[in-house]
Structure 1
Amino acid sequence: MGEAMKGVTLAMGQINKQMNLPLLHKIMQEFEMQNEKMELTSEVMAEAIDDALEGDEEEEETEELVNQLVDAPSSTVAAPAAKQKVPQVEASGNDDCGIDSELQARLDNLRRM
């Protein structure tokens, strides 16, 4: 075991002589700075992608709601009868215009509901 330790010690001494430790330290610092920069860039990109995709989800939800409204039944629900009657406005004698009679018919249909 002593011989193995002696061999390892000699090998490590030779490696230390061959390596430039200040240069290795500088390389490690540069690596650390680049690694942090990459992590920050990745976070910003991930947030930007999430924000961009988030709008699509809202559009899809809006489209689903609109589709539900389109598919909703078109029958009207009868309103409860009012306790007091609203006084009716008499037609103004201008019956030759079909618009008034059409509007009056619509109004009558709405009151029946």
Structure 2
Amino acid sequence: MLPGNNWGDESPWISQVATLLSNNAPSVTVLLNGGEISFEDAFSSVNAGRLVVVIAGSGRTADILADALRGQATDERAKKLAKSGKLQYIDLIDIEKGVENLGEIIKGLLSN
């Protein structure tokens, strides 16, 4: 249903749909674990001006981005995303205290 033939071609479209659905209300992208395509998803959200909440400790791309936010970047894409000012991370251990905690944390981030 979307243009493109490759896995990941949908990334900008997902971001555009999220922007339309938000109807100018604040919105976030939550990145949990993730692979190579998750970098594209994060860039699409950042380019749309959307905050990306990275769940640190969930593995792979999320941990690479959390490390970049901590100043321990090993990946150029992660460095660029971290410099955008549109990434925040939440430690998985904080979420494990209760899923409602994640909602409260995100509400706090959106109100800033």
When normalised by structure 2's length, the TM-score is 0.20
* Greater relative CO (CA pairs within 8 A, separation 6+): 2
Structure number with greater Rg is 1
More strand, by proportion: 2
More helix, by proportion: 1
